[in-house]
A and B are shown apart, each in its own frame.
Chain A
Amino acid sequence: MGDEKKVDVAANAAAFLEQDEVHEPMHDKNLWAARMHRDAAARAVPEWEELRKIASQIKEHTLTHLPDYLREFENNALKRGAKVYWARDAAEHNQHVWDILQEKNIRAVIKSKSMLQEECGMTAFLEKRGITVTESDLGERIQQLDDQPPSHIVMPAIHKTPEDVAQLFARSIGTDPGNTDPHYLTEAMRNDARKRFLEAGAGMTGANFAIAETGSFVVCTNEGNADIGAAVPPVHIASIGIEKLLPKVSDLGIFIRMLSRSALGTLATQYTSHFSGPRRGGELHIILTDNGRSRRLGMPDFWTSLKCIRCGACMNTCPVYRRSGGLAYGATYSGPIGIILDPTFDESRYSELPYHSSLCGSCTEVCPVKIDISDQILKWRKVMAAKKYLPVSRRLAFGAAGRIFEHPQLFRSAESMASGALRFTPHFLLYNKVLNPWGRHRELPHFAGQTFREWYLQYRAKNNDHGEQHT
């Protein structure tokens, strides 16, 4: 799927920052609120830190015994009456979906959120073949109608204001363009989606977890849209990345407790649904998909990124993501997790992403499965530097920061010294004047004379956070 065109994340971020005085502050504020809710929810669980450790170990155990668990899952899913397909890559995945739909003569599908289907470019593939695909998650639907990918893995349209959505819905489903009330807009989309659920020949979902012990998979939503898609049309197709496996049902006790607390600070999603074979009167098709995961498993520095449960906590906490918007990353996955996943799909295309980080380490501290995200970002910088993906001008631009960023220990102690040449913000170090979107922005003067960490602590205090991160 290699696309030669390099994503210029700095320029994209600048465009988001500078479009007006509304979008970026709103984006920042909403995500920061999610981060604070996450802190409160985590703090209320006495064993939180122990849970992170255990969750990480369970994932690492499963990943290092993956063939066994995949076979066990397949066996049990088949026993339950599901049909199981395997796909090496996006093309095979999409072909399976197309074959199933063709065989049943299905022309319309309703889908819930699936990052894997997103990865595979499934919707475009199906639409080219005359299939009507409707996203049923409200945020995904907004993005679909606006012909944009999701900008956040949990809140796909978080970069849009209610005014944006009102305009979009007025154009696409005929709402009153002047009515920006989220209740009104949500109700309008509920009614529009209703008939699409009833017309669809298949419901498509992803999976948050797949359980080897029983051949079940779990889908977490707040809207209940995955459940309607699975319960109403006669055919349910589930796309499951092979890294989603967990050994046992009891593991869910740990992971369900962590997922939504990390994502939005809620105790769970409103619906946590368990599918074990086809429902009464229905069919269930499961597509176990690799699409680069086995290759990632073989990368000593990066394989633990496969532990990711897609909670989005690292995005909410990331000061660079919050100011850039997710679309700036130009990839399926944005934010810190995107920086470490996207280059495994295409190193050249995403070669600038690893520089779009302040390396403050906040992502690593909130990750519920303890992925060393910021260390991996640093390692990706080394890969990009070694392979000379950046043109000379950029390499020079990044050069000043490079030496420091290659030594995180040095970076941290230097940062705390608050003296000498290092009293620059990481943003300043990240980009030179020409490239630096932040440099042209109001925040730079505010940073001057502060280390990033100082600024970060002040910023947090200003935004009612309760002191140190809960980690």
Chain B
Amino acid sequence: MENNTRNHVLAAVESQLPLNRIAYPAIPAFPKTVTDLLTAFEQRVADAGGEIFRPADAVAAQALLASQFPGASVICSVTPEIKGNRDIHAVQNPHELADVDVAVIRARFGVAENGMVWLTQEDLEVNALGFLSQHLVILLSPQSIVCDMYDAYLRVHLEDTAYGCFMMGPSATADIGAVLVHGAQGARSLSVYLL
């Protein structure tokens, strides 16, 4: 039955194909408009509702985190630089992350064009960490910034990871009265620590 349906759909599509088969277009190399990648990235993160910080080293970053989130009781870090108090490797079920106040994750790279950071399942350990946590701190090497989405898609390897997300600032919505509100469902805030 299942196989039947499959063949049915494929045959239906086959029988309805337009006679004129369109060729795949040539894609030119578009000129790069962003020159100073880091500056552009910083501005775009701010535009998207995120915040940029430049801690001098891991110790400074740890202190920054403490001062940024003085009330946080559960901090879960997937990075060696920052210490938290919830061990991500001990998590058996995503529900255990429902009480996380701050998650700390290292992004593979950022995109200057729009302020996105690329996070994969391997970076998150448990995907839910990126979404159940109230606040996100993203560590990013200032050297790891690509120019635009064309370059960004050369750096993702979808064949190697079951989940990858370009995250651009915190969760947002404008569904009520077209007023922008952060923290609709995912993280309420997103801080990028350039480190």
Contacts and interface: CB of A to CB of B under 8 A. Distances in A.
B56 interface: no
A182 interface: yes
Interface string A250-270: 101110110000001001111
B62 interface: no
Interface in A340-398: none
Contact of A67 (B5, B10, B49): B10
Interface residues of B, number: 76
A161 B9 contact: no
Most buried by A among B164, B173, B187: B173
Nearest to B178: A30
Given A294-B13, A298-B16, A232 B168 contact: no
A290 interface: yes
B2 A193 contact: no
A225 B127 CA distance: 13
Contact of A253 (B153, B170, B179, B186): B153
Interface stretch (A9-17, A271-279, A430-438): A271-279
B14 A216 contact: no
Contact of A138 (B47, B113, B150, B175): B175
Interface in A177-192: 180, 182-183, 185-187, 190
A164 to B, nearest CB: 9
B173 A138 contact: yes
Nearest to A219: B165
Contacts, number: 268
Interface stretch (B25-33, B65-73, B78-86): B25-33
Nearest to A138: B175
A214 B18 contact: no
A125 interface: no
A440 interface: no
A300 interface: yes
A305 to B, nearest CB: 13
B24 A155 contact: no
B131 A224 contact: yes
B183 to A, nearest CB: 7
B8 A138 contact: no
Q: Ordered nearest first, which 8 A-B pairs have the shortest CB separation?
A: A224-B186, A298-B16, A139-B175, A267-B114, A231-B127, A294-B12, A223-B184, A57-B25
Interface of A: 26, 30, 33-34, 46-47, 50, 53-54, 57-58, 60-61, 63-67, 70-71, 74, 80-81, 85-88, 92, 136-139, 142, 155-158, 160-162, 165, 180, 182-183, 185-187, 190, 193-194, 197-198, 211, 214, 216, 222-225, 227-228, 230-232, 242, 247, 249-250, 252-254, 256-257, 264, 267-281, 288, 290, 293-295, 297-298, 300, 303
13 contacts: A57-B25, A88-B9, A138-B184, A182-B179, A186-B173, A186-B176, A223-B171, A223-B184, A223-B186, A228-B186, A271-B165, A277-B162, A294-B15
